[in-house]
A = this chain, B = another copy of it.
């Protein structure tokens, strides 16, 4: 069985050079520097790796997917820059955020410019022109959806929404761009529409599984490994499948009342947080969420069974397994970690 993390590290190292090669020196230098800041910092390179692997998995020439990999990484980083402004976050991966270093106007422009650069790169893809349309459709729809997902996230803040709304939000916010990278890679690799759609579904499901398992780790994980205490998500009132399940499943009105009084209470004690966890456990919510994450991943793996055996397919499967078989929360390749 392939070690997904190790393989990803290797791919990430290979993609580092291309990612740092598309932004030339130009005036004004402060804007150019700001556009380079996030993509040049390194990172998990999860989306670019997915684009390249999916190209290879359908029998394509992986080198042709590299520009798409770069474009998608730029788009991901553009959304992070704007995200950080919206959230007023001052640190990302322990370093100052773009707007802290360059000021908000420059950070807004740097995001816009990275987005534009991504399309300059995609317009030059070395594939039959007709296929460019398809790549553009997947990627542009993904960015549109991503904005919707982020807005839903803003709108949901402080509310416990339904499970459907929660899943739709994480799908739009996290999975769609990942899935567009996968589908785009498959298109570049020459896959037919049905195969492209299957690979898109694989990545959508995998993205959901990743995020759901990450939520699960936030409550049930070993906090010495996840780096975050159980109280973290509970105090923030984070809406997850565990929370939505608990709220609809708790029979005793007094317990429900108690649960709601702890959830989102920034002053809740560790004991109260443990109690909230216990309530979810008793309601079967933690098992439910883990099961849901597993189902997503199983589905992801099943839809790509048709692919011929290859190292790339092996990676796609190993990554899916890794999504629900890890104890490290920080380091989730998909979560938009800071």
Contacts and interface: CB of A to CB of B under 8 A. Distances in A.
A105 interface: yes
Interface in A54-113: 78-79, 82, 85-87, 104-106, 108-113
A192 interface: no
Given A27-B152, A115-B115, A129-B133, A120 B141 contact: yes
A318 interface: no
B112 A115 contact: yes
Nearest to A136: B123
Contact of A137 (B120, B136, B141, B148): B120
A184 to B, nearest CB: 12
A117 B143 CA distance: 9
Given A82-B108, A129-B129, A148-B31, A140 B154 contact: no
A28 B148 CA distance: 6
Contact of A30 (B104, B137, B151): B151
Given A28-B152, A148-B26, A123 B137 contact: yes
A170 B288 CA distance: 58
A159 to B, nearest CB: 12
Interface in A130-152: 130, 132-133, 136-137, 139-141, 143-144, 147-148, 150-152
A112 B143 contact: yes
A111 B143 CA distance: 11
Contacts of A78: 112
A155 interface: yes
Nearest to A125: B133
What secondary structure prevails in chain A residues at the interface with B? helix
A191 interface: no
A124 interface: yes
Contacts of A82: 108-109, 112
A51 to B, nearest CB: 17
A113 B31 contact: no
Interface residues of A, number: 48
A119 B158 CA distance: 34
Contacts of A129: 128-130, 132-133
Nearest to A142: B116
Contacts of A112: 78-79, 82, 111-112, 115, 143, 147
A25 to B, nearest CB: 12
A122 interface: yes
Interface string A1-45: 000000000000000000000000011101100000000000000
Given A108-B108, A119-B136, 16 more contacts: A26-B148, A28-B151, A31-B151, A86-B104, A86-B105, A86-B108, A105-B150, A105-B151, A109-B154, A112-B115, A112-B147, A115-B143, A116-B140, A117-B140, A119-B140, A124-B133
23 contacts: A26-B148, A27-B152, A30-B155, A31-B147, A31-B148, A31-B151, A79-B112, A85-B104, A86-B108, A105-B150, A105-B154, A108-B108, A109-B154, A111-B112, A112-B112, A112-B143, A112-B147, A113-B144, A113-B147, A120-B137, A120-B140, A120-B144, A123-B133
